A and B are shown apart, each in its own frame.
Chain A
Amino acid sequence: MSGPIIDIRGLSLAYERDGRRTEILSALDLAVPRGQFLVIVGESGVGKSTLLRVLIDLAKPSGGTVHLGTDPQKTRTPMALVFQDARLLPWRRVIDNVAFGLERHGLSKAERRERAAAMLKLVGLSDLAGRWPHQLSGGQRQRIAIARALAVEPEVLLMDEPFSALDSFTREGLQDEIQRIKAQTGKTVLFVTHDIDEAVYLADRVVVLAGSPGRIAADVTLAPPRPRQRRDAALVEAARHLRAELSRRSAEL
């Protein structure tokens, strides 16, 4: 298969409340090649999360097209989303949370458990299979949420500020973890964050959304090989450049 896995053209999204029209996104074009780790950065309210919600069909765009290069037979799940707050289902044990998305894939319970167990192993939490979500730390919860999303074997993994609610140690641990998982599975990842250092550390490519409604203000490809060093000169330079771009843009608006 060739061509971008996600091809967004002229996407806009607006809603009306009390007769006032608010535009979240306007005339957005974005093509994501298969296998890319794309990070979208921007201040809160520029529509980063909204973009992910449109892709997974939780929000309806008011204009434009989204063309997916995912398997048209839908034999594979096109997308799965990791929310900012893990949103585990508190009445399910960890293993059954991971298996949640598989329950519409015509698998037997044993098969679902088996696949969920493999995902738990991938995120290194096999020991917690029988726990309840309330017994986990924030970082563990988020890893379970990642395992839950990966379990449905999505072609694209969407992540909506997945580490922003975590303390910095846990956050850095999970950043390394998601890079490892990405390398291991080769998935296309769309990752939203407002943290520029996080963006340059993780991304093959960083797209900056700015303004209201949100538009693409910068689109930067990052070449440094993986695994990366946090203080890599090229990354530090890229972060500096993106910061400058962001502040220039917000000064303009």
Chain B
Amino acid sequence: MTAVSDPQSVAALAAEAVDNRINLDFETEGMTLNMGPQHPATHGTMRIVARLDGEQVISAEPMCGYMHRGYEKLTEVRTYPQINALINRIDWLGSFANEVPFILAAEKLMDVEAPPRAQWIRTILFEMSRIANISLFLGDFGLQLGGMTAAFYAFRDREWVLNQIESATGGRFHPNFDRIGGLKDDLPKGWIDSSHTAMDKLLAFCDELEDLLVGNEIFQARTRGIGVIPAEIALSYGLSGANLRASGVDWDLRRDNCPPGLVYDKADWKVWTHPDGDCFARTWVRLQETREAAKIVKQLLDTIPSGPVMAKVPRIIKVPEGEAYVATENPLGEMGYYVVSKGDLVPFRVKIRSASFNNVSIVPWVARGAYVPDLVSILGSLYFILGDIDR
């Protein structure tokens, strides 16, 4: 928790001023602009009802639920291995990261621990899905701001990571690789070397994108000082992940509250924060996070222990009665599963805490007083994935 910096307090004052202006009795006739459910800036089916005065946004209300698939209800009629395949589809760009907290919660209830080699591979794949997710964000945010080329570079270089995930798990987007008590398989031959190569490519991609996009004056003019979220506001809206770190809050579940079963403490890495809390800060923090993730993967690849990848677990998984909540630092923020078991083949109730739902809840606050182009910057930099909002 850091003190509020100057740009943040200025932004808070500006938001107050806009509030006062809106509450005036005399109000010019505005326009209601319905952005979505089919709009490029919402990258999915979210709708933003924006009340405009000219090009200035007076109020913006996000409307979610167009893609609601009822996952929390579906988990009540599916066995634990089946749920694992289901929850891959929540944040579809970083699928493996969705499996891990659920499996860890189930392991916690069953009192099972995966062997060290499985823990290492889990962490590596977790970070790889983070890279796959965020590297696409970096390119896509450029596309939102009008720079086409960055998006194509992101799609090109993300393929390096996806190839590694595919060769290890068999699935490019939906690995379904994590199991209670370990992993489905061991790594294929030569995977460690090719992963080193892929991480080098990704680090080069980060440098390239920093030259092409993040260092660009126009990009900075479009993002610096836009959509400033002060630290208190970010905390009170329940923001997590890079959005929170960009507001200057030094908070990362990987370091602060790492659940057993992931081995982040075995690698030397750094949590980046940025004091400004604007769109640029969020982009920059994600860029640094991608680099750190690549470093974590490279270090863990060198220290990966030998041994089995699966602990002894019964063939038919019955989770003993109890409740457990496990949250991890997913690419989009804190993702947690609250699993309630009555000792059955299926869980009694699963509450999914996904990061994007909380992250978009701040849109009405932060979009107030912004311009329509800034609304696109804000939505892009908050970085939500529709599957992660609607589940």
Q: Do A and B come from one complex?
A: no
List residues of chain B with CB under 8 Å of any chain A CB.
none
List residues of chain A with CB under 8 Å of any chain B CB.
none
